[in-house]
């Protein structure tokens, strides 16, 4: 009986202590235990309102009562019921003579004041009418602007450009590269090409140091003067071997003489010559008339001419590494210039790395990572510059960009290779500077629940 009484007394004492302690201890409110991060809530809400550009649209049309009212309805629906807000739109002033950086445009609120516990976030939006442009730096040589020539010869045929025409490729490469050159000239026929080979500009442009892009694929336009019966037949026709490899040799000599950069966009360079006039009865053994096969002798002849060697009728070889990948430099330049060919390509006509020693060539740009096949190192998509040394001083004169990719050609690769090699800058600017940006500030506070 005594133990039962003792237990009851202990319970009474503990209960009295609990009641006494509870009466003097004040527990924190739920809002203080787990406070609302108002600035984060404000920023998240602004992002959500602009997820479909509704916020951006409304803040540039504050006079449109429907849009402005719908924004307030959407904002109210996005916030918890115990949150009060004030949304203010500011114009961002960019003119140098304007004193305040921000000027208020419009605002709305659902409370007379937000109390002392408010917080805010800001969000910058741009007008949908804003358009950007860039001013490209012109490609130069020793500070002097150079010319871009695009072979758009109407009297030629193309090969290994399946699905395309030389004219179509010429128009595309013009749109990609012309902004980076002070002068771009479309070579419209082989007669105009003959004029260039003989050292005469077409429009008074600078002839030296030019970039020449051949859009005929594996075929090279040949003027009639270099035919076997033409005025310059000795510079075009190898009578001992019944071959136009001599013409490719002449092209190599001219490329070195005028310090041209010759661009072959696909396949085996200089494998054919083409002229739908005097070669109209000749086909390339695949049924394409206006084209004559020079085969592997054309590439060797061109490189001999580029290196100022004596002409020798000898074949050349290419490698077929298969899948290749863009270099890290090329991929970074894709982002810079806004050109996005596939990172993976197929190369079946890559030049072996040994051509560098044979023809005094220096690799200045690898568009694709060098690779080995059957023990032979090759350079798919490489720009070579011809060099020689005089009195201990290295000189560069003439260049050759051989893509060697499998058909169908991606002409963006040719443009990307030239841009990677010269790396002209892009200077960005706005078409319109004033009134294109507005700052939205959302201030939040809490009511009740304290």
Give the pLDDT confidence score for residue 450 in this predicted structure. Answer: 47
The alpha-helical segments, DSSP class H, found in 199-339 are 245-257, 297-306, 328-337
The pLDDT score that the predictor gives to residue 190 is 97
For residue 446, what pLDDT is reported?
A: 87
- Residue 373 per-residue DSSP state: E
SS3 266: coil
In a domain, 252, yes or no: yes
Question: Backbone dihedral region of 166: left (phi > 0), alpha (psi from -120 to 50 degrees) or beta?
Answer: alpha
Same domain, 286 and 145: yes
Domain enclosing residue 117, as ranges: 39-131+434-446
The share of the chain scoring above pLDDT 70, in percent, equals: 87
Question: Mean per-residue pLDDT for 25-38?
Answer: 58
Asked, for residue 7, whether it belongs to a domain, the answer is no
pLDDT score of 351: 95
267 near 404, Cβ under 8 Å? yes
Tell me: pLDDT of 95 over 80: no
Query: Domain for residue 18, yes or no?
Result: no
How far is Cα of residue 315 from the mean position of the Cα atoms in its chain? 37
Q: What is the pLDDT of residues 265-302, one digit of tens each?
A: 999 999 999 999 999 999 988 889 999 999 999 999 99
- What are the pLDDT digits (tens) for 235-273? 999 999 999 999 999 999 999 999 999 999 999 999 999
Q: What angle do CA 229, 235, 241 make, to 5 degrees?
A: 75
Q: How far apart are CA 213 and CA 173, in angstroms?
A: 9
Specify whether 346 is located in the same domain as 231: yes
Question: 362 phi and psi, to 5 degrees?
Answer: -115, 130
pLDDT grade, residue 53 (50/70/90)?
Answer: confident
Res 34 pLDDT > 60: no
Q: Determine how β-strand 272-274 pairs with β-strand 147-151.
A: unpaired
The verdict on 202 and 65 lying in the same domain is no
Residue 251: inside a domain:
yes
Is residue 229 pLDDT above 70, yes or no? yes
Query: Is 17 part of a structural domain of the chain?
Result: no
Residues 65 and 84 in one domain: yes
pLDDT bracket for residue 12 (50, 70, 90):
low
What pLDDT score was predicted for residue 52? 83
pLDDT in tens, 343-375: 999 999 999 999 999 999 999 999 999 999 888
State mean pLDDT over 60-80.
92
Q: Residue 423 pLDDT more than 50? A: yes
pLDDT at 161: 94
pLDDT at 91 over 80: yes
Q: Are residues 106 and 158 in the same domain?
A: no
Does 143 share its domain with 75? no
> What confidence score (pLDDT) does residue 126 get?
79
Overall domain count for the chain:
2
367-393 pLDDT, tens digit per residue, is: 999 999 888 999 999 999 999 777 777
Ranges 27-41, 290-304, 376-390, 429-443, most confident: 290-304
> Which of the four pLDDT bands, split at 50, 70 and 90, describes residue 94?
low
Whether 34 is in a domain gets the answer no
Q: Is there a single domain that holds both residue 53 and residue 88?
A: yes
- As given in the structure block, the two tokens for residue 36 are 């609302």
Bridge partners of 429, per DSSP, are: 133
User: Which pLDDT value is given to residue 33?
Assistant: 44
Closest among 186, 183, 223 to 204, alpha carbons compared: 183
Quote the pLDDT of residue 92.
Answer: 82
Say whether both 149 and 201 belong to one domain: yes
For 150-163, the pLDDT digits (tens) are 999 999 999 999 98
Of the listed ranges 92-101, 106-115, 222-231, the least confidently predicted one is 92-101
Asked whether residue 103 falls in the same domain as residue 231, the answer is: no
Domain at 107, CATH number: 3.30.1140
Q: b/e string for 151-174 if b means 16 or more Cβ within 10 A?
A: bbbebbbbbbbeebebbebbbbbb
Each residue's pLDDT tens digit, 117-133: 789 999 988 776 666 66
The verdict on 157 and 98 lying in the same domain is: no
Verify that 102 and 161 share a domain, yes or no: no
Residue 5 within a domain: no
Residue 143 and residue 57 in one domain: no
What is the structure's pLDDT at 125?
Answer: 87
- pLDDT-based confidence at residue 29 (cuts at 50, 70, 90): low
Question: Is 59 among the domain residues?
Answer: yes
pLDDT of residue 7: 57
């Amino acid at each position: 009986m005594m133990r039962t009484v003792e237990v009851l007394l202990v319970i009474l004492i503990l209960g009295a202590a609990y009641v006494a302690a509870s009466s003097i201890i004040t527990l924190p409110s739920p809002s203080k235990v787990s406070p609302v991060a108002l600035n984060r809530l404000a920023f998240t809400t602004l992002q959500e309102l602009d997820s479909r550009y509704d916020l951006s649209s409304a803040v540039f049309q504050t006079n449109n009562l429907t849009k402005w009212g719908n924004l307030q309805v959407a904002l109210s629906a996005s916030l918890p019921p115990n949150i009060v807000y004030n949304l203010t739109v500011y114009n961002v002033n960019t003119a140098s003579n304007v004193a305040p950086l921000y000027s208020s445009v419009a605002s709305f609120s659902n409370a007379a004041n937000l109390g002392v516990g408010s917080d805010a976030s800001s969000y910058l939006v741009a007008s949908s009418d804003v358009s950007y442009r860039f001013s490209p730096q012109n490609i130069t040589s020793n500070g002097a602007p150079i010319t871009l020539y695009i072979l758009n010869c109407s009297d030629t045929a193309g090969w290994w450009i399946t699905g395309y025409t030389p004219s179509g490729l010429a128009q595309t490469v013009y749109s990609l590269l012309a902004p980076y050159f002070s002068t771009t000239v479309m070579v419209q026929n082989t007669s105009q090409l003959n004029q260039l080979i003989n050292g005469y500009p077409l429009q008074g442009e600078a002839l030296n140091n030019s970039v020449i892009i051949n859009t005929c694929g594996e075929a090279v336009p040949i003027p009639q003067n270099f035919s076997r019966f033409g005025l310059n037949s000795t510079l075009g026709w190898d009578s001992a071997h019944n071959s136009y490899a001599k013409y490719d040799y002449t092209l190599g000599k001219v490329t070195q003489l005028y310090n041209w950069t010759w661009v072959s966009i696909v396949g085996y360079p200089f494998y054919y010559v083409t002229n739908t006039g005097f070669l109209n009865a000749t086909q390339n053994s695949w049924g394409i008339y206006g084209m004559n096969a020079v085969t592997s002798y054309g590439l060797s002849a061109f490189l001999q001419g580029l290196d100022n060697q004596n002409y020798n009728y000898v074949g050349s070889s290419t490698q077929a590494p298969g899948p290749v990948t863009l270099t890290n430099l090329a991929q970074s330049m894709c982002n810079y210039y806004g050109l996005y060919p596939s990172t993976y390509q197929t190369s079946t006509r890559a030049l072996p790395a040994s051509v560098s020693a044979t023809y005094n060539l220096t690799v200045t740009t690898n568009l694709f990572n060098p690779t080995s096949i059957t023990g032979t190192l090759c350079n798919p998509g490489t720009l070579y510059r011809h060099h020689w040394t005089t009195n201990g001083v290295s000189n560069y004169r003439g260049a050759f960009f051989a893509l060697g990719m499998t058909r169908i050609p991606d002409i963006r690769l040719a443009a990307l290779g030239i841009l990677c090699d010269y790396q002209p800058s892009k200077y960005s600017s706005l078409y319109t500077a004033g009134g294109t940006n507005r700052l939205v500030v959302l201030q939040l506070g809490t009511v009740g629940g304290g």
